[in-house]
Amino acid sequence: MGQRIKIGDLAFLVGNLNIVTGNPVEHCTKGESGLFVSNAGNYYFSQQSGGVRLEQLCEGGGARDISPRLSKGQLFDWINAFLKGIEIGQNINEEVHNA
C-alpha cells in the first residue's frame, strides 16, 4: 500500500507547480485599496464531496477546472505527472533552440 497523502502534501506540490509555471504562489494578495485581490494564474486545489480537484484562477475573476475531482492520492499523482509533462516540454524547447 502506498503512502497516505495529506492536504499539506498537496499544498506543497501545488506551490511547486506555481513556481515552475511562473504563476503567483499566493492565492490572493492585499491590493492598493487594502482589499484582497485574487492572483490570476494561481493554481490551487479545492475540496468537495470527499474529493479534491486542481483549479486555476482566471484573469478577470472566476476559476477553471484543470483536473477532474479525484482522491488526494490520485491528485498527487496527477499533479506530479503534470509537472513531469512541463519538464519534458521545457527540455524539448531547450533542445530545439540549441540545435
Average pLDDT, the chain: 93
The CA distance from 65 to 94, in Å, is 29
The CA distance from 6 to 3, in Å, is 9
Helix then strand then coil, % of the chain, to nearest 5 = 40, 25, 35
Nearest C-alpha neighbor of 68 from the set 28, 60, 77? 77
What pTM did the predictor assign?
0.87
pLDDT for position 85? 95
For residues 3 and 83, which has the higher predicted lDDT (pLDDT)? 83
pLDDT for position 91? 87
